[in-house]
Amino acid sequence: ERRLMYVALTRAKNNLYLSYAKSRMRHGKINYQLPSSFIEEMDENFTRIKSSNSKKIRFQPKESVNIDYIYNSKKIVDSKSNIPNTNVYTPGQKIKHSKWGTGIITQIIESKGDQLVTVLFDEGGLKTLIGSMAPMEVVS
């Protein structure tokens, strides 16, 4: 799931819209879903949350459904603890990326304990990457 979020963030041109289904019907039972924990890790300056209050019911289960679900707004596991502190990048550094080759870091934005690293690659153009997730290393 983290890799999918990384792909979405790095491929978005101007805006990125994330959505999720609050519930899904599977095998005649309702399964309630939570939004991705990675949304909480995003910088609040770059996010805007809209909620749908739609109460439309499109279909009914054939039998009664037992809902055994309690929403807990507190995190069970702090997902940020899994992110290594990789604040090692600075503008002007030369890096090597496994896919786009070598490049120069042009901008760093600190975001929730991580870095958004903008790199001008020799072959791949300008890319913005998440510091802790991008397969890159500093080159001397």
pLDDT tens digits, 4-39:
888 888 888 778 777 777 788 888 888 887 777 777
How far is Cα 66 from Cα 102, in angstroms, rounded to an integer?
Answer: 56
Q: How many CA atoms lie within 13 A of 93 on its CB side?
A: 17
Whether residue 76 is found in the same domain as residue 7 = yes
Which of 56 and 11 is assigned the larger pLDDT? 11
Whether residue 60 is found in the same domain as residue 104 = no
| 16 lies in some domain | yes
* 82 pLDDT above the threshold of 80: no
Helix (H) or strand (E) holding 3: helix 2-11
Give the pLDDT mean for 110-123.
86
| 131 lies in some domain | yes
* Residue 87: predicted pLDDT: 57
| 89 lies in some domain | no
Q: Look at the chain and report how many structural domains it folds into.
A: 2
* Residue 77: predicted pLDDT: 44
Whether residue 7 is found in the same domain as residue 62 = yes
